[in-house]
Structure 1
């Protein structure tokens, strides 16, 4: 039985609008994450690595004029991105197929949708005034690791999670270096020099994002080996890890610039990427 056939087909324009709005919201988040991480790296404006995490970015938006309205728009954009990714995975609007490779790609779309759905929920909570939560994504990761460690073979389960997270990071780096990401913006119609620069920004962005995923995976691995959930963390803890390493300010600064480039590339995708709606 084809389960996806029971999911109603949304209007094509509806899918496209949601995808583009969602990609733009993702671009805003990553540009701000990169900017705040860069400021933390070189101690600009008293910013810390904690403020460069997703929750810190949402708090930064809240503190701006009309902050609640701005954050609400970002939250709606992230919801749009979530729905688009789920539609991609369930309805196979990009025609990935039902073989093993196609199913793996569609599951990746669904996983991405769930991750950004959680971010949208966090942003919505902060708009409504619930700023404490559980410490943001870092706290939720520690809660997850803590729950896993209490299960039989808990350290192995967290170890598997760590390896999977690092694998995602390695794939992000491979995706950037292999130039596969270019298919999202091929034939954008920009002037050649501008298109070349933006595409290069995308390459650097995917590599930087991969580095962050690998560090988060490494923190999971430390939690598994020590059987201590407090060792786990999110992007803000990954930034702190980079900052405290050798040449930490320059390393974190380079990753931060890469994340800004990734955000800029999301804007390019929002404008020019062909959106599958079949």
Structure 2
């Protein structure tokens, strides 16, 4: 083994030790579980509000930030939102641990580094969401720009930069790639490897897997659509083509048989929330 190989092995072993140490911290696993559950609550709100629109029972098209504002308006909204905010913070910390300390053993190869980088990006995104939640809890205004408004605003800023169209196209490809990755994850059932479902009987396990697969696949389809919208924004140099989660759901609703399409997508997002709850309860943590 050459010097470079020895250093790579040494770095991996060091990462494994740090990851195990992080997982043995008394707060790490509970925070991770709370984080998954908090993320599920946010997606459940998005899905339920969209289902209400599909069935003509009010509701609204919204994204994850809009879901926080909806939680704040409900009964016991501030208390519930505070719990979700703490949970999201736990999710951020867990993603940082996954990216930096690699407790899941992704390694330092190309694929492993890409996955760990994705964990880092997820940490940044959910940190922003956690900050928005804490601001609402403290009564410092709404969740700020969200959905199409936010997407189109920073798409316009990107387009104004040198090579702006290329940058927006890269964003679109990344988002679409995340969607394809989710579809692959659902199809191969790779997520099953991290779940310990021994407490469920055969029928319960079978239905749990079906709901989880449906939720992951639905989120994947929505992300692929969002990525395509960004690619259109880049191709046409038009920021108004960009769509957030709410705009993507609205686009589905405006298609022929839109109520059916919106119902399927919204139900899928609720199923994804169930998947997050399942992960929160049954995920196994290596070394914990």
TM-score between the two structures when normalised by the length of structure 2? 0.88
Q: How many residues align?
A: 275
Structure 2's unaligned 5+ residue stretches are 1-6
The CA distance in 2 between the partners of 1:65 and 1:185, in whole Å, is 34
Mapped pair 1:47 → 2:59: yes
The CA distance in 2 between the partners of 1:131 and 1:218, in whole Å, is 32
Change (3 A) 1:137 1:83: farther
Mapped pair 1:237 → 2:247: yes
The CA distance in 2 between the partners of 1:7 and 1:124, in whole Å, is 30
What does 1:17-96 align with in structure 2 at a 5 Å threshold?
Answer: 17-44=30-57, 46-49=58-61, 52-96=62-106
The CA distance in 2 between the partners of 1:103 and 1:196, in whole Å, is 33
What does 1:218-257 align with in structure 2 at a 5 Å threshold?
Answer: 218-257=228-267
User: Which residue pairs with 1:263 in the alignment?
Assistant: 273
Q: Is the 8 A contact 1:89 1:107 kept in 2?
A: yes
Q: Is the 8 A contact 1:85 1:110 kept in 2?
A: yes
Q: 2:189 aligns with which of 179, 196, 211?
A: 179
1:105 offset after TM fit, Å?
1.5
The CA distance in 1 between the partners of 2:136 and 2:222, in whole Å, is 24
Q: Is the 8 A contact 1:142 1:230 kept in 2?
A: yes
The CA distance in 2 between the partners of 1:233 and 1:125, in whole Å, is 25
What does 1:4-19 align with in structure 2 at a 5 Å threshold?
Answer: 9-10=21-22, 11-19=24-32
1:220 offset after TM fit, Å?
1.1
The CA distance in 2 between the partners of 1:132 and 1:268, in whole Å, is 30
Q: 2:211 aligns with which of 201, 205, 212?
A: 201
1:249 offset after TM fit, Å?
1.0
Structure 1's unaligned 5+ residue stretches are none
Change (3 A) 1:137 1:113: farther
Q: Is the 8 A contact 2:233 2:239 kept in 1?
A: yes
Change (3 A) 1:65 1:187: closer
User: Which residue pairs with 1:192 in the alignment?
Assistant: 202
Change (3 A) 1:133 1:116: closer
**SS of equivalent residue, structure 1 residue 12:** coil
**SS of equivalent residue, structure 2 residue 123:** helix
User: Which residue pairs with 1:158 in the alignment?
Assistant: 168
Q: Compute the RMSD of aligned alpha carbons.
A: 2.1
Range with greater deviation from structure 2 (117-126 or 245-254): 117-126
Change (3 A) 1:188 1:121: farther
Change (3 A) 1:257 1:182: same
The CA distance in 1 between the partners of 2:161 and 2:18, in whole Å, is 35
TM-score between the two structures when normalised by the length of structure 1? 0.91
The CA distance in 1 between the partners of 2:251 and 2:77, in whole Å, is 30
User: Which residue pairs with 2:114 in the alignment?
Assistant: 104
The CA distance in 1 between the partners of 2:237 and 2:203, in whole Å, is 51
Q: Which digits, 9 at most, give the CA deviation of each residue in 1:135-193, with x for residues without a partner?
A: 22543322321221011121121112112211111111111011111112244321111
